[in-house]
Chains A and B, each alone.
Chain A
Amino acid sequence: MPAVSVSRADGSPWGPTAPAVIDLQGVGFGYTPDAPVLADITLSLAAGSVVGIVGPSGCGKSTLLSLLAGLRRPTSGSLERRTDVADRHPLSMVFQKDTVLPWKTVVENAGLYATFRGRRRAAEDGEPPGPRVRRLLEMAHLSEVADAYPYQLSGGMRRRLAFVTAVAPGPQILLLDEPFSSVDEPTRIGIHQDVFAITRGMGMTTVLVTHDLAEAITLCDRVLILSRGPSRIAHEHRIDFGPERDMLRLRGTPTYQAAYADLWRDLSAEIAASSAAAAG
């Protein structure tokens, strides 16, 4: 099945005119040779773009993300990541599961990259780690708990911390695997505002895997819908809400409602096809 583009508007400021940093050509993957999970994924991500990936449960969204992270290798096709900006960390990932280190305080977790890279090398990456981490904690509303241990934080704060830990090295590519699925809706909207500000502010090419269409619409420039397995990109939607977004107000606008309806129409068709295949 060829990829179907359902572009809703042209001229996005994060459009494909910028040099691509992630390029997938006919990528396929299977945990065993006779059970492919992904088939023929062709995808180009421009520098600084934010792309959402949604699809039926078990369609291989997280697997696709692990291929992008280099945690697995494609079984067919080619995958190229160009992270050649010398003074920027190449790639970070926020996992669905909690990855904060329980024996480190909030500020120590956030500055973890400097520990691993060596403080001197981390400082050579431009801004020294201390002020950068402090500023990010402030942006993520974690300054007041900077010296607390993770067990003293709420679920939402822990997710914010996991996010700050991943973005602190200033990665060129940021991968988000359902990072906020475990927090309640009001908290999630607050986190979205911070995530939007930080990813856009730092110009990170971001791939977000999510089950939450509202999350995909409010944070991304493009949303890809995967088909049932072996998955392909079945639909692509462009989201043009611009570089300034008020997450709470946005959800009440007709354009948001229209984007949601469009995405839901295509996603529900894929879910129905997936259910039908599973049943019969």
Chain B
Amino acid sequence: MTATTADRMTGRVWAGRLAVLAVGLAAWQFLPQVEWLRERATVFDPFFVSSPSRVAERLWELCVGSGPDGVSVWPVLVQTLVATFAGVIIGTVLGGLAGVVLSSSIPASRILGPFVAFFNAMPRIALVPIFVILAGPTTTATVLTAVAVIFFLVFYNAFAGGRSVPPEVVQSTRLLGASPRSVMFRVRLPYVAVWTLAALPNAISFGLVAVVTAEILTGRVGMGRLLLNSISTADATLTFAVVFLLAVVGVVLVSASDLVSRRALHWWENS
């Protein structure tokens, strides 16, 4: 395919995307204004679905803090992001370490395997009440929820990474003079790092979901509580505005983590 053809294809793809977006927004904006539809389905009632123009207006108010309640979204968003980052860092480090340790020890993986499977099968969000009892309705409780979700996600990837180290590579490096410690830190850990970093985009999006859910359940300041407020006041416009903001934040974080993974794994042929 020539460069010109490729450019034309990209142009068409973007034009198609913009067309889909425009049609979707137009339908959302104008269909609820058709009385016949509004009377027959609540999904077309502006009270429940709001409209893009009102959501955009509310988003602006949230960004500049000029709404009727004077709420600015930034300090709230920072709370959620801090908890998400803390959860991702702690969960990734702990999950990665547990994965590498268990994958390099057959007895340990046999003994602890069923327990890990049990805790993984457990719905971790259900643990939020325990975290609240332990830490109170604090940021610590939301961070613990995120850690509980991310730990197992990263752990399984790291475990698979540790098990993927070819035995010939270990034997070859041992024959070259590597100590068991060198094999662990210079051979196993880099293999595990590949798999752990591959789990990072998922860890971040799951972490964000866990933190917002924990904020809803604990009532702790954050995007989750903003969402809770919008639900309790039946404010569909605010709900859509918060969901839109969370989606944008999620896309930005996942793209950034994807970029970090690619940079860190520039030597990996599949990166």
Contact = CB atoms under 8 A, between A and B. Distances in A.
Interface of A: 69, 71, 89, 91-93, 95-99, 101-104, 112-113, 115-117, 149-151, 165-166, 169
Interface residues of B, number: 19
Contacts of B266: 149
Contacts, number: 59
A175 to B, nearest CB: 9
Interface stretch (B42-50, B167-175, B226-234): B167-175
B176 A149 contact: no
Interface stretch (B134-142, B177-185, B235-243): B177-185
Given A116-B177, A116-B179, A99 B172 contact: yes
Interface in B135-192: 166, 168-169, 171-173, 175-179, 182, 186-187, 190
Contact of B176 (A71, A92, A98, A102): A92
A93 B267 CA distance: 25
A97 to B, nearest CB: 5
Contact of B268 (A97, A103, A112): A103
B193 to A, nearest CB: 8
B100 to A, nearest CB: 15
A61 B259 CA distance: 46
A92 B172 CA distance: 7
A95 B176 contact: no
B190 to A, nearest CB: 5
A151 B173 CA distance: 19
Interface string B196-212: 00000000000000000
Given A93-B171, A169-B177, 13 more contacts: A89-B177, A92-B176, A93-B172, A93-B175, A95-B171, A95-B172, A96-B168, A98-B166, A99-B168, A103-B190, A113-B176, A116-B182, A165-B176
